[in-house]
């Protein structure tokens, strides 16, 4: 099963270091400039926000009722989804009722697999304005489970995953870069991803006793329990903007038992489902004359291709599926389709992704002296994504296990501006938030339970012949961190994400040298989003 991951680096604290950090926290708590010995209003609001965000982030799931709109960069339209009692696990698994453009449907999500079951109008609305819409066999999607890949419908499981949403409501660094003071002594001192305690007020505003605002994000909570009750506002991610307005009810592990049981019962219906939005390469159907025409008939070869569009080939690598083509060929004889001359030929072809097949059609009832026979081809098509019942069941089992792994969010120092932005891009967290696992504070956690470590720009200058320069002090520091991260991570996977391709290569070599399996540590390079 193909999975996706997102997020960043790690902090290690020994007992003495913890004491020093506590002292630093106390030293840099903003107090009123009037001389009064109480924290500023912004600091008090930040404390409340942290309690709310950390409780949300550690929840294994939540139930939402509200709306979510998403606008992609370069897109002319905004897709808005209403949802009622939508249950979302920390692992992105989800179930509930949605409405898109006045059409109601059922929504299900198993990690990276997203499905909808509703009237075919929903898909027609999703394809509104698309040139290929006339070729899609929408009738076959009517009140059937269909795969939402590439549909443009917002990924509700990802966008509303409690841990990731907690990072979004608490991201004061997006509003204004904090003024930074003393550098933390561990674990990244002197590195591009070093953290510092801020000396300026956080960009948080209290609105009464039960609400805080960070930029446009407004979070309402119960003042006594600090449980979030409502989230409203806008946030941006790579390539899109999201506006959310939803009631929130946090769930316990036992509240998710039914969700995973329902997913298992649905498996037989999800092994082979339409995926209308999977894009195909151009010229999927090609018709050509295959021999000389006789007075009786003129034969044509119809070739069908299941090649995927170039922009999705890499991402779809390993995905199994096929395309059903309904083909109608009408023959034109001597410039005329009148009467019974030439006739009509219909065929149904099934082609695997990346494969090809062909069939033949013949123009018949040709009049004597016919000089030319041409074809007019009409196509109806529908891609399908396939997955075995065993793989899907195993995936659900792993998702349920991940949802039960405890998540502990903590506050730490902030990275400098460039590194903080990359931390946000990779982990969806402000750099002032981290995930404590064992004796480490990692930069974030992915929906699969993987622990993120983000490496912003600035390391490549210390790489020689593809490896980290052994004479650079940061090399031994990164090596020690890697060992400590492995020890602290337990059975969770670690994901390194680097802004520089050279560093990704160097870190892979470092891991190999330390005998660390690629099953335990994944390393990816992702260029910074400077938009």
Per-residue pLDDT reduced to its tens digit, 66-112 = 999 999 876 668 999 999 999 999 999 999 999 999 999 999 999 99
Would 513 be classed as within a structural domain? yes
pLDDT tier for residue 303 given thresholds of 50, 70 and 90: very high
Residue 176's beta-bridge partner residues?
none
pLDDT for 249 equals 98
Residue range of the domain that includes 203: 56-255
Total domains present in the chain = 3
Per-residue pLDDT reduced to its tens digit, 520-529 = 999 999 999 8
Would 393 be classed as within a structural domain? no
pLDDT for 66 equals 98
- Side by side, the strands of the sheet bearing 144-147 are 144-147, 113-118, 103-110, 94-100, 79-89, 61-72, 240-251, 228-237, 217-221, 211-214, 205-206
Would 347 be classed as within a structural domain? yes
What is the distance between the alpha carbons of residues 142 and 118, in angstroms, rounded to a whole number?
Answer: 6
- pTM of the entire predicted model: 0.87
Q: Are residues 236 and 151 in the same domain?
A: yes
**For range 258-271, the mean pLDDT:** 98
pLDDT for 187 equals 84
Per-residue pLDDT reduced to its tens digit, 184-216 = 988 899 999 999 999 999 999 999 999 999 999
Statement: residue 26 has pLDDT above 70: no
pLDDT for 110 equals 97
Cβ within 8 Å of residue 251, ≥6 positions away? 59, 60, 61, 62, 63, 87
Mean pLDDT for all residues in the chain = 89
Element (H, E) at 48: helix 41-58
Of the candidate ranges 70-74, 135-139, 142-146, 292-296, the one whose mean pLDDT is the lowest: 292-296
**What share of the chain in percent tops pLDDT 90?**
78
Would 477 be classed as within a structural domain? yes
Q: Are residues 103 and 204 in the same domain?
A: yes
pLDDT for 487 equals 96
pLDDT for 519 equals 93
pLDDT tier for residue 10 given thresholds of 50, 70 and 90: very low
Scored b (16 or more CB within 10 A) or e, 434-464 reads bbbbbebbbbbbbbbbbbbbbbbbbbeebbe
Geometric angle at alpha carbon 68, from 229 and 274, rounded to 5°? 125
Q: Provide the token pair at 460.
A: 């490549």
- Of the two residues 349 and 448, the one the predictor is more confident about is 349
What is the distance between the alpha carbons of residues 138 and 395, in angstroms, rounded to a whole number?
Answer: 29
Q: Are residues 371 and 498 in the same domain?
A: no
Q: Are residues 123 and 174 in the same domain?
A: yes
- Of the two residues 312 and 291, the one the predictor is more confident about is 312
Would 157 be classed as within a structural domain? yes
Q: Are residues 192 and 316 in the same domain?
A: no
Of the candidate ranges 273-277, 425-429, 503-507, the one whose mean pLDDT is the lowest: 425-429
Would 16 be classed as within a structural domain? no
Q: Are residues 381 and 516 in the same domain?
A: no
């Amino acid at each position: 099963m193909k999975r996706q991951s997102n997020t960043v680096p790690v902090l290690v604290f020994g007992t003495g270091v913890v004491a020093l950090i506590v002292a630093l926290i106390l030293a840099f708590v903003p107090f009123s400039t009037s001389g009064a010995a109480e924290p500023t209003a912004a600091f008090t609001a930040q404390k409340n926000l942290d309690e709310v965000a950390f409780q949300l982030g550690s929840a294994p799931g939540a139930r939402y009722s509200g709306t979510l709109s998403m606008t992609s960069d370069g897109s002319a339209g905004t897709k808005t989804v209403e949802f009622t009692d939508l249950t979302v696990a920390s692992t992105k698994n989800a179930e509930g009722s949605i409405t898109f453009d006045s059409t109601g449907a059922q929504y299900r999500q198993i990690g990276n697999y997203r499905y909808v079951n509703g009237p075919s109008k929903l898909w027609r609305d999703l394809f509104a304005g698309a040139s290929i819409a006339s070729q899609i066999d929408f009738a076959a999607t009517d009140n059937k489970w269909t795969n939402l890949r590439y549909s443009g419908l917002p990924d509700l499981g990802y966008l509303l995953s409690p841990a990731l949403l907690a990072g979004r409501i608490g991201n004061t660094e997006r509003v204004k870069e904090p003024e930074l003071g003393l550098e933390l002594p561990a674990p990244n001192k002197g590195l591009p991803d070093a953290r510092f305690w801020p000396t300026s007020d956080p960009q948080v505003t209290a609105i009464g006793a039960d609400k805080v605002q960070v930029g446009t994000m407004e979070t309402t909570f119960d003042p006594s329990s600090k449980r979030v009750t409502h989230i409203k506002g806008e946030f941006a991610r790579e390539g899109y903007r999201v506006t959310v307005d939803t009631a929130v009810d946090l769930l316990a592990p036992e509240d998710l038992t039914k969700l995973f049981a329902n997913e298992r019962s649905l498996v037989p219906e999800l092994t082979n489902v339409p995926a209308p939005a999977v894009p195909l390469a151009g010229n999927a159907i090609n018709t050509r004359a295959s021999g000389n025409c006789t007075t009786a008939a003129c034969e044509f070869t119809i070739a069908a291709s299941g090649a995927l569009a170039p922009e999705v080939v890499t991402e779809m690598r390993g995905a199994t599926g096929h395309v059903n083509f309904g083909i109608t060929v009408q023959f034109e004889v001597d410039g005329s389709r009148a009467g019974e001359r030439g006739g009509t030929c219909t065929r149904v072809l099934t082609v695997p992704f990346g494969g090809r097949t062909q069939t033949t059609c013949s123009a018949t009832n040709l009049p004597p002296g016919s000089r030319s026979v041409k074809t007019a081809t009409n196509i109806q098509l529908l891609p399908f994504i396939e997955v075995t019942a065993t793989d899907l069941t195993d995936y659900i089992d792993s998702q349920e296990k991940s949802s039960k792994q405890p998540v502990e969010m903590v506050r730490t120092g902030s990275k400098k501006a460039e590194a903080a932005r990359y931390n946000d891009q990779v982990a969806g967290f402000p750099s002032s938030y981290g995930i404590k696992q064992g004796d480490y504070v990692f930069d974030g956690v992915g929906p699969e339970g993987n622990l993120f470590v983000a490496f912003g720009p600035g390391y490549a200058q210390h790489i020689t012949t593809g490896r980290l320069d052994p004479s650079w002090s940061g090399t031994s520091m990164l090596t020690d961190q890697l060992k400590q991260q492995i020890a602290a991570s337990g059975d969770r996977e670690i994901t390194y994400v680097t802004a520089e391709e050279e560093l990704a290569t160097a870190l892979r070599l470092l891991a190999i040298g330390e005998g660390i399996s690629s099953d335990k540590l994944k390393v990816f390079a992702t260029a910074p989003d400077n938009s």
